[in-house]
């Protein structure tokens, strides 16, 4: 077996969930576990989030996996159902669903359910992705309020710019106009809004990325927000090379040594989900010591500078990301965000849950 493994920390998940409650003490928490728990494994992360008030996923199959594993909290389908037929599963597994377009209301009106369900009625507050326009929102709400298959309505929106300090001002004006004086609960905030837009917390917050210990805000590190990384992507050196000034490393010879350099070869490449766009200088740790990658990432391997790590040898442990190397720092070096790297860890990487 190759030495690569993704360790998943249940204590870190519980810590980050508690941190959400510190930021939003009066809100209930819908833990967003879509995309296979942001790449950590849906049922892996659910184990660390047993204290959550609800879960949110995309597809009925993910919701059913949570129910089959015994979770009884509300499970919200973030895009609702994609067809009228899927209401059968919504009914059987007692799921909550987002309603974001008129056909979903029609399907609900025409369905035969064993008991009414709760819906989250989505307002488009400026992102122009999903949701009813402000002018159509009240009509949709009235239809749902008189629909026998609907037990409860939660008013909902999703922000396009909650990571920018005044990025929700306009959206909150729309929310205030459309949702004011309504006898319904509200759900507005993603992670960025949880940490820096307290006036958006309302009744239900919907954190995703912060639960996994990565930052929702480019200018702030996860550690400065009190978050702990849940995933440690770990591997080991499988070769060590000594090269001379003028010699190069890897495809394209992108790194050329300017002095004698000790090069470690790590069993991790882009086929494991490590970003190929992370160039020379991306942070990485060998034997617990921070250093940098060298040259181009290959499919199954990458190179690392161990010139100043005397004890580095075949078998030395390597942290690709985790507590020493924030996933956000690797993402920044690759021109992307932590979300994408976490979601992209390949299925060939074994996961080990601990705690
Ligand atoms: C993914 C998602 C979230 C969570 O977003 P984060 O930035 O990861 O906190 C919240 N609400 C909706 C509707 C989402 O799709």
E strands of the chain, at which residues? 5-9, 28-32, 54-57, 75-77, 96-99, 117-123, 150-157, 185-187, 204-205, 231-243, 248-249, 255-256, 261-266, 283-286, 289-294, 302-305, 317-321, 351-354
Rounded Cα distance between 184 and 192, Å, is: 24
Q: Would you state the torsion angle of the CA atoms of residues 296, 322, 231, 16, taken in this order, to the nearest 10 degrees?
A: -140
Of these residues, 93, 137, 184, 251, which one is catalytic? 251
Nearest to residue 113, comparing CAs of 131, 96, 138?
96
Span 76-91, pLDDT tens digits: 999 999 999 999 999 9
Confirm if 14 and 48 have CB atoms less than 8 A apart. Answer: yes
The pTM for the full model equals 0.97
Which is the catalytic residue, given 23, 34, 122, 212? Answer: 34
Does the annotation count 339 as an active-site position?
A: no
List, for residues 230-268, the tens digit of each pLDDT value. Answer: 999 999 999 999 999 999 999 999 999 999 999 999 999
* 108 is a domain residue: yes
The verdict on the CB of residue 222 being under 6 Å from ligand 1 is: no
Residues 185 and 304 in one domain: no
Q: Given the CA of residue 194, which atom of ligand 1 is nearest to it?
A: 9
In a domain, 287, yes or no: yes
Q: Are residues 119 and 244 in the same domain?
A: no
Q: What is the pLDDT of residues 260-302, one digit of tens each?
A: 999 999 999 999 999 999 999 999 999 999 999 999 999 999 9
For 164, the domain range is 10-214
159 and 256 belong to one structural domain = no
Tens of pLDDT, residue by residue over 143-176, are 999 999 999 999 999 999 999 999 999 999 999 9
The CATH number linked to 315 is: 2.40.37.10
DSSP string, 259-280: S-EEEEEES--GGGT--TT--T
Clarify whether 34 is annotated catalytic: yes
Separation between Cα atoms, residue 142 and residue 330, nearest integer Å = 48
How far apart CA 109 and CA 6 sit, in angstroms, is 45
Task: Determine, yes or no, domain membership for 225.
Answer: no
pLDDT digits (tens, 9 = 90+) for 214-228: 999 999 999 999 999
**Which atom of ligand 1 is nearest the CA belonging to 130?**
13
């Amino acid at each position: 077996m190759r030495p690569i493994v993704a360790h998943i920390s249940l204590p870190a998940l519980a810590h980050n969930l508690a941190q959400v409650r510190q930021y939003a003490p009066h809100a209930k928490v819908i833990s967003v576990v879509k995309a296979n728990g942001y790449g950590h494994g849906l049922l892996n992360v659910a184990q660390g989030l047993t204290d959550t008030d609800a879960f949110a996923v995309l597809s009925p199959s993910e919701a059913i996996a949570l129910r089959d594993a015994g979770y009884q909290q509300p499970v919200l389908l973030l895009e609702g159902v994609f067809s009228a037929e899927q209401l059968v599963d919504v009914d059987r597994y007692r799921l909550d669903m987002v309603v974001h377009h008129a056909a979903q209301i029609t399907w609900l009106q025409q369905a035969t359910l064993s008991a009414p369900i709760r819906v989250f009625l989505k307002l488009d507050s400026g992102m122009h992705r999903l949701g009813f326009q402000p002018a159509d929102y009240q009509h949709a709400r009235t239809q749902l309020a008189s629909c026998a298959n609907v037990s409860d309505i939660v008013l909902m929106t999703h922000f396009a710019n909650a990571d920018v300090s005044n990025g929700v001002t306009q959206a909150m004006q729309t929310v205030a106009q459309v949702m004011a004086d309504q006898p319904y609960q509200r759900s507005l905030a993603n992670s960025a809004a949880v940490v820096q837009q307290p006036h958006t917390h309302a009744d239900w917050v919907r954190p995703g990325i912060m639960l996994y210990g990565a930052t929702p805000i480019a200018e702030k590190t996860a550690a400065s927000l009190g978050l702990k990384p849940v995933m440690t992507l770990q591997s080991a050196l499988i070769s060590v090379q000594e090269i001379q000034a003028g010699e190069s490393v890897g495809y394209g010879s992108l790194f050329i040594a300017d002095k004698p350099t000790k090069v470690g070869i790590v069993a991790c490449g882009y086929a494991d989900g490590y970003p190929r766009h992370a160039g020379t200088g991306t942070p990485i740790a060998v034997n617990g010591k921070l250093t940098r990658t060298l040259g181009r990432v290959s499919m199954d391997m990458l190179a690392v500078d161990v010139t100043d790590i005397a004890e580095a040898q075949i078998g030395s442990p390597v942290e690709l990301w985790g507590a020493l190397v924030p996933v956000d720092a690797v993402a920044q070096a690759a021109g992307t965000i932590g979300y994408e790297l976490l979601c992209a860890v390949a299925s060939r990487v074994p996961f080990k849950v601990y705690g």
